[in-house]
Amino acid sequence: MDCSATAKPMIDAGDMLAETRERFCIPEGVRYFDGNSLGLMPKVVQLHASNVITHEWGTGLIHSWHDAEWRTLPQRTGAKIAALIGAEPQQVVACDSTSVNLFKVLVSAVRLRAGRQKIVTDSDAFPTDLYIVGQVARLFGLTVVGVPAREINDNLDEDVAAVVLTHVDYRSAEIYDMQAYTQRAHEAGALIVWDLSHTAGAVPCDLDGSGADFAVGCGYKYLNGGPGAPAYLYVAERHADACEQPLAGWFGHARPFDFAPDYKPASGTVRFLCGTNPVIGLSVLSRALDIFEGVCLSDLRSRSIRLTALFIDSVDKHLSSHGFAVASPRDATRRGSHVSLRHQHGYGVMQELAKRKFIGDFRMPDYMRFGFAPLYNNDEDVHALIDAIDQIMISRDWEKPEYQQRRDFT
Amino acid sequence: MDCSATAKPMIDAGDMLAETRERFCIPEGVRYFDGNSLGLMPKVVQLHASNVITHEWGTGLIHSWHDAEWRTLPQRTGAKIAALIGAEPQQVVACDSTSVNLFKVLVSAVRLRAGRQKIVTDSDAFPTDLYIVGQVARLFGLTVVGVPAREINDNLDEDVAAVVLTHVDYRSAEIYDMQAYTQRAHEAGALIVWDLSHTAGAVPCDLDGSGADFAVGCGYKYLNGGPGAPAYLYVAERHADACEQPLAGWFGHARPFDFAPDYKPASGTVRFLCGTNPVIGLSVLSRALDIFEGVCLSDLRSRSIRLTALFIDSVDKHLSSHGFAVASPRDATRRGSHVSLRHQHGYGVMQELAKRKFIGDFRMPDYMRFGFAPLYNNDEDVHALIDAIDQIMISRDWEKPEYQQRRDFT
C-alpha cells in the first residue's frame, strides 16, 4: 500500500514493523530465516480458519457461496495482493498454483504473439518455471532460449513471443530491473511474464508503472498464506479481454451458473480462473494479507534492506575467516529480501543450525539461504544467527556422514 | 473398501451407516440434500485443521514437509480415494481442481493416440468438462464430437483419440456403464477418461476391473473434503510412464529437490502433480476420507438406492398431482445417489424449501436436484422433504418476483 493511501496517520516505520512481528506465531526458541520459503503463521489465521470451517462450511453450507462471499474470494484476495505489487486491483486473481498460473498466462502470451517462434527465459530460474516454459514451447512448437538473466536482453528479436523472468532470483536474491527488462521486451515486440514469488510482500515492485504484461507468484512465502497456499496471477487490463487461456474452467466463464455448454470467458482477469477455488486456503491467505494493511511498502523495503545489509556486514566482519562467500548482490538496490552464502560445507552448517532451532534453507549445490522477512525479522535475529554460525564453524568434523546426506527442504 | 478387506467383523450395514451420520455436523433444523454439491462437514476436521494450522504450520514450519509428511499428502490422500473407485492405490493422486486434472489426463490421452483427430464427449456433460475438452481440442487441432451419452458408442471409429464421459450424470443421475463404454472405446482403439465427481463416495465403480484408462473427480461432494477441496486423478498403471502431461511442475519431477533445469518426470501417477500442493486442503480432505474406513461399499450403495427409491416412490404417491416429473432413471441400477425432479416452478420451490432449511439445489433450466448421501441421509430426511414440498405446493403464488430471480448455487 502506498503511504499516501493509508487512512490512519503513519506512525514511525520501525514501530509499525515491530508491531507486525507481534502478529505472528514464533515458536519458542526458534529463529526463523525461511519466510522466503514458508512464511510464519499469522496468529489471526487460527481463529479465522476455524470460523471458515465450522461456521461457513459446517453451518452455512452451500449458502456460503453467497453469504460468506466465497464466490469472490479469488478477486478479493487478488486485490489485496495487487496493492503489494503495484497493480490496480481488478487485474489480479488468487487461484491455483504458481506453475498452473504460469501455464495459463504464458499460453495466453504466445497466442497474443502468434507467429513468433521463441520464448526467452532465465536459464537459472526456479526449475518449475523452466518445466512449464518447456511444455508451453512444446505445445506450440516454439523454441526455448534459456540464457542467464543478464543476457536476456541480448537475445531479443522480432521472433520472440514472450520473455519469462523472475523478479527476485530464488538463489542469489538479485533483483532484475522490471522497468528496463519490460521496456526492452516491448521494443522487440515481445510480451513479458514476471514471476514475483520472491518479491510480493517484501520487495515493492510496480507492474502497472513498468508496463508489465503478465505476472504470477505464490502465496506461501512473504504473503504468509500457509503451506501450499493458493498462488496468484496478474494480467494487464489492456490484454485481458484479448486473452485465451487454456485452462478454461467454469469459474472463468462469463456466467458460470447458466451451465452453458459453450465457453464464453468473463471479461477481465476473472477469465483466468479455472475450476472451483480452494475456499479454505484462499480464506486463510486473504486473512493473512490483512497484516499488510497500514504498512507502508517503502518502510517495509527499508527494513528489509537494513536486515540484509546488517547480515552481509556481519558476515564480512565475523565469518569471512571461515570461508563463506556472499552470493547475493552487495548493492542493496539490486538485492531482494534474502541473502545466500556459499560454502563447501553449507549443507552441514544448515543441519547444525537446525539443531539449534535456527531455520534457513539449503539450495543445491552449496547455497545457504537466509530470508529476512521485514514483517517479523529483526536485528536481534541477525546477531543471533551470526553468533550461531560462528560457534558452529569452530570445531565441527565436516566429514561425518550426517553432514553429507542431504535432507530435502522446500 | 471391499467388505472382505475390512479388518473388524462387519456389523449390520444399517447400524454402521447410522453411526456414520453421527460423525457429521448437521446444523440444527437443517435437512440437507446437497451432499452431491458440497458434503457436510465431518466433525473431526475442525480439530484436525486446527492441528495442521497451529502445530504443523505454526510450530513445525518447513520441517513439516518431512515430519508431518506433507510431501506425500497427494499420494496418501489419493490412496484413500482409490479404495472407493476400484483402483490400486498408487494410481491415484489428489491435487489441483477437477478441471485442471482433466486437462492433464486428456492431453496425455491425445498424445498417446497421436494422429487421431477426434475427441468424443457427452454434449450434456457438466460444462466445465466441455470447456476443457474444447481447449485441449484447440491446442491439438482436433475436432470435438459432442453427442448425448447414449450416442457416444455410435460415434467411435479409428479416428477417435479419446472419449470423455461422466460416470454419473450431474443432472439426471444416470449411471453410464463403465465396463461397456470402456470396452467399446478400446475396440475403436480410443482411450477413455471418466469423470467420477458424482460417483466417488456414493456409487461404487471399478476402474481397474473395467480397464479404464484415466479418471478425474472432485473432493468436495460425497468425499466431504470441504469447499473447493482438492480434486484427484487416476491413471492406469500401464499408461503412467508413457504419459507426458502438460502441467509439468516440480512436484511431478523425479527428484524435485535436485532443482534440475531439465524436467524428468517421476515414474507412475506422481508425474501428474504440478506445483506445490495445498497442504491445508489436502489434510482436511484426507482426514474426512477416514470416515469411509470400515464402511462396506456395497452397503453404502444399498443405502443410497434405498433412499433414492423411497424418494421416487413418495414423489409418485404424494407429489404427482403437483406436476413434478422424475428426471432420474427409475431403474435403480442405472441411478446414482441424487434424484432430479423437473417442474416449471422448480426454482421457486427450491427457494421455499430453503426458507424451511431444506437444502437442495437447482440446475438450469428447471431441475430440482436432491442428493442423498448414504453416509448421513436417512429415511426420515426423505419423509420430511416430501411433506415440505407438498405443503409448499398447496398455496403459492408462483408469479411473485422472488420466485423468478434466480440465485446461483453451486
Looking at chain A, which residue has its C-alpha nearest residue B351?
A63
The answer on pLDDT for B224 being more than 50 is yes
d(CA B398, CA B38): 28
CB-based contacts of B142: which residues, under 8 Å, 6+ apart? B110, B116, B117, B118, B119, B136, B161
Question: In sequence order, which ranges of A62-168 are alpha helices (DSSP H)?
Answer: 64-67, 73-82, 98-112, 127-140
Beta bridge partners of B121: B146, B164
Is B258 annotated as a binding-site member? no
d(CA B302, CA B305): 5
Is B220 annotated as a binding-site member? yes
What residues does CATH 3.40.640.10 cover in chain A?
A: 49-292
Cβ separation of B100 and A100 shorter than 8 Å?
A: yes
The answer on pLDDT for B7 being more than 80 is no
Separation in Å, CA A279 to CA A72, A97, A221, A283: 10, 14, 19, 6
Contacts of B249 in chain A (CB under 8 A): 97, 99-100, 128, 131-132
Q: Does B253 touch chain A (CB under 8 A)?
A: yes
d(CA A347, CA A364): 9
Cβ separation of B57 and A38 shorter than 8 Å?
A: yes
**For chain A, how far is it from start to end, CA to CA, in angstroms?**
29
Cβ separation of A66 and B40 shorter than 8 Å?
A: no
For domain A49-292, say whether CATH 3.40.50.720 is its number: no
Measured in whole angstroms, the distance separating CA B47 from the mean position of its chain's CA atoms is 25
HSE value, Cβ hemisphere, 13 Å, CA-based, for B186? 11
The letter for the amino acid at A201 is: G
The letter for the amino acid at A348 is: G
Q: How close B135 comes to chain A (CA, Å)? A: 6
Residue from the list B54, B227, B277 with its beta carbon closest to the beta carbon of A46:
B54
The answer on pLDDT for B70 being more than 60 is yes
Query: Per mean pLDDT, which range of A57-61, A257-261, A406-410, B357-361 is the poorest?
Result: A406-410
At A317, the pLDDT band (50, 70, 90 cuts) reads very high
For the record, the C-alpha cell of A240 comes out as 485481458
d(CA B150, CA A36): 53
User: Which site among B44, B72, B131, B338 would you substitute to test the A interface, given the most A Cβ atoms closer than 10 Å to its Cβ?
Assistant: B131
pLDDT for residue A135: 98
- The answer to whether residues A57 and B41 touch, using CB atoms and an 8 Å cutoff, is yes
Q: What is the DSSP string of A101-118?
A: HHHHHHHHHHHHTTT--E
**What pLDDT, in 10s, does the model give residues B90-112?**
999 999 999 999 999 999 999 99
The letter for the amino acid at B254 is: A
Contacts of B281 in chain A (CB under 8 A): 228, 278, 280-281
**What pLDDT, in 10s, does the model give residues B165-217?**
999 999 999 999 999 999 999 999 999 999 999 999 999 999 999 999 999 99
Report residue B157: phi and psi, to 5°: -145, -175
For the record, the C-alpha cell of B113 comes out as 493416440
The answer on pLDDT for A11 being more than 60 is no
User: Which site among A32, A69, A128 would you substitute to test the B interface, given the most B Cβ atoms closer than 10 Å to its Cβ?
Assistant: A128
Measured in whole angstroms, the distance separating CA B290 from the mean position of its chain's CA atoms is 17
Catalytic residues of B: 126, 195, 220-221, 369
Report residue A233: phi and psi, to 5°: -145, 150
pLDDT for residue B404: 72
Rounded to the nearest 10°, the torsion over CA B262, B266, B270, B273 is 0
What DSSP state is assigned to residue A11? P
Q: Does A127 touch chain B (CB under 8 A)?
A: yes
Is B126 annotated as a binding-site member? yes
pLDDT for residue A290: 98
Cβ separation of B408 and A65 shorter than 8 Å?
A: yes
pLDDT for residue B8: 40
Measured in whole angstroms, the distance separating CA B29 from the mean position of its chain's CA atoms is 27
What residues does CATH 3.90.1150.10 cover in chain B?
A: 297-403
Contacts of A363 in chain B (CB under 8 A): 259
Query: Per mean pLDDT, which range of A337-351, A353-367, A390-404 is the poorest?
Result: A390-404
- The answer to whether residues B336 and B202 touch, using CB atoms and an 8 Å cutoff, is yes
**Average pLDDT for A32-55:** 97
- The answer to whether residues B105 and B193 touch, using CB atoms and an 8 Å cutoff, is yes
Q: Does B44 touch chain A (CB under 8 A)?
A: no
pLDDT for residue A406: 59
- The answer to whether residues B199 and B85 touch, using CB atoms and an 8 Å cutoff, is yes
The answer on pLDDT for B360 being more than 50 is yes
Q: Could you say which architecture CATH assigns to the domain B50-292?
A: 3-Layer(aba) Sandwich (3.40)
Identify whether A311 is a catalytic site residue. Answer: no
Report B:173-232 residues touching A (Cβ under 8 A). Answer: 218, 220, 226-231
Q: Does B367 touch chain A (CB under 8 A)?
A: no
pLDDT for residue A95: 98
Question: In sequence order, which ranges of A113-202 are alpha helices (DSSP H)?
Answer: 127-140, 178-187
pLDDT for residue B259: 87
pLDDT for residue B408: 52
Name the burial class of residue A405, with classes exposed (0-12), middle (13-18) and buried (19+) by CB atoms within 10 angstroms of its CB. Answer: exposed
Report A:11-30 residues touching B (Cβ under 8 A). Answer: 25, 27, 30
Whether the upstream peptide bond of residue A74 has omega within 30° of 0, thus cis, is: no
Q: Does A33 touch chain B (CB under 8 A)?
A: no
Looking at chain B, which residue has its C-alpha nearest residue A56?
B227
The answer on pLDDT for B11 being more than 60 is no
The secondary structure of B202-220, three-state, reads: CCCCCHHHHCCCEEEECCC
The answer on pLDDT for A97 being more than 80 is yes
Question: In sequence order, which ranges of B188-295 are alpha helices (DSSP H)?
Answer: 207-210, 237-240, 279-289
Residue from the list B41, B228, B407 with its beta carbon closest to the beta carbon of A276:
B228
User: Which site among B24, B276, B405 would you substitute to test the A interface, given the most A Cβ atoms closer than 10 Å to its Cβ?
Assistant: B276
For the record, the C-alpha cell of B84 comes out as 472407493
Q: Which residue has the cell 456433460?
A: B125
Contacts of A248 in chain B (CB under 8 A): 131-132, 134-135
> Rg (Cα) of chain A, in Å, rounded?
22
Identify whether A195 is a catalytic site residue. Answer: yes
Identify whether A355 is a catalytic site residue. Answer: no
d(CA A54, CA A79): 26
What residues does CATH 3.90.1150.10 cover in chain A?
A: 3-32+296-403
pLDDT for residue A1: 39
At B400, the pLDDT band (50, 70, 90 cuts) reads confident
Contacts of A37 in chain B (CB under 8 A): 62
The answer on pLDDT for B407 being more than 70 is no
**Nearest CA to B255 among A128, A217, A219?**
A128
> Strand B231-235 to strand B214-217: parallel, antiparallel, or no bridges (unpaired)?
antiparallel
**What pLDDT, in 10s, does the model give residues A141-194?**
999 999 999 999 999 999 999 999 999 999 999 999 999 999 999 999 999 999
pLDDT for residue A407: 53
Residue from the list A132, A275, A354 with its beta carbon closest to the beta carbon of B128:
A275
Is B99 annotated as a binding-site member? yes
Judged by DSSP in three states, B393 sits in helix
d(CA B182, CA B191): 8
Looking at chain A, which residue has its C-alpha nearest residue B257?
A408
**Average pLDDT for A4-24:** 63
Cβ separation of A274 and B27 shorter than 8 Å?
A: no
Please provide the size of chain B in residues.
410
Cβ separation of A247 and B25 shorter than 8 Å?
A: no
Identify whether A335 is a catalytic site residue. Answer: no
**What pLDDT, in 10s, does the model give residues A142-153?**
999 999 999 999
Q: Does B405 touch chain A (CB under 8 A)?
A: no
For the record, the C-alpha cell of B96 comes out as 489441483
**Average pLDDT for B308-320:** 96
**Average pLDDT for B66-75:** 97
For the record, the C-alpha cell of B166 comes out as 461422466
Separation in Å, CA B147 to CA B155, B168, B174: 8, 16, 16
Residue from the list A57, A58, A97 with its beta carbon closest to the beta carbon of B276:
A97
- The chain-wide mean pLDDT, for chain A, equals 93
Please provide the size of chain A in residues.
410
Looking at chain B, which residue has its C-alpha nearest residue A354?
B63
At A403, the pLDDT band (50, 70, 90 cuts) reads confident
For the record, the C-alpha cell of B150 comes out as 447414449
Give the max Cα distance, chain B: 70
Question: In sequence order, which ranges of A22-67 are alpha helices (DSSP H)?
Answer: 44-51, 64-67
Separation in Å, CA B83 to CA A49, B10, B78, B206, B336: 29, 17, 9, 10, 18
For domain B297-403, say whether CATH 3.40.50.300 is its number: no
Query: Per mean pLDDT, which range of A311-320, B84-93, B107-116, B393-402 is the poorest?
Result: B393-402
Compute how many other C-beta atoms are within 10 angstroms of the C-beta atom of residue A290: 14
**Nearest CA to B201 among B181, B179, B229?**
B229
Name the burial class of residue B99, with classes exposed (0-12), middle (13-18) and buried (19+) by CB atoms within 10 angstroms of its CB. Answer: buried
Residue from the list B37, B46, B134 with its beta carbon closest to the beta carbon of A54:
B46
Cβ separation of B227 and A146 shorter than 8 Å?
A: no
The answer on pLDDT for B1 being more than 50 is no
Q: How close B132 comes to chain A (CA, Å)? A: 6
The CA-CA-CA angle for residues B223, B226, B232, to 5°, reads 50
- The answer to whether residues A370 and A205 touch, using CB atoms and an 8 Å cutoff, is no
CATH number of A3-32+296-403: 3.90.1150.10
Cβ separation of A228 and B131 shorter than 8 Å?
A: no
The answer on pLDDT for B4 being more than 60 is no
Separation in Å, CA B265 to CA A88, A158, B93, B212, B241: 38, 33, 15, 22, 9
d(CA B113, CA B143): 14
The answer on pLDDT for B13 being more than 90 is no
At B258, the pLDDT band (50, 70, 90 cuts) reads confident
**Average pLDDT for B76-97:** 98
Compute how many other C-beta atoms are within 10 angstroms of the C-beta atom of residue B21: 16
Q: Which residue has the cell 495487487?
A: A82
**What pLDDT, in 10s, does the model give residues A45-65?**
999 999 999 999 999 999 999
HSE value, Cβ hemisphere, 13 Å, CA-based, for A149? 23
**Average pLDDT for A6-31:** 74
At A269, the pLDDT band (50, 70, 90 cuts) reads very high
The letter for the amino acid at A169 is: D
- The answer to whether residues A12 and A299 touch, using CB atoms and an 8 Å cutoff, is no
- The answer to whether residues B362 and B350 touch, using CB atoms and an 8 Å cutoff, is yes
pLDDT for residue A399: 80
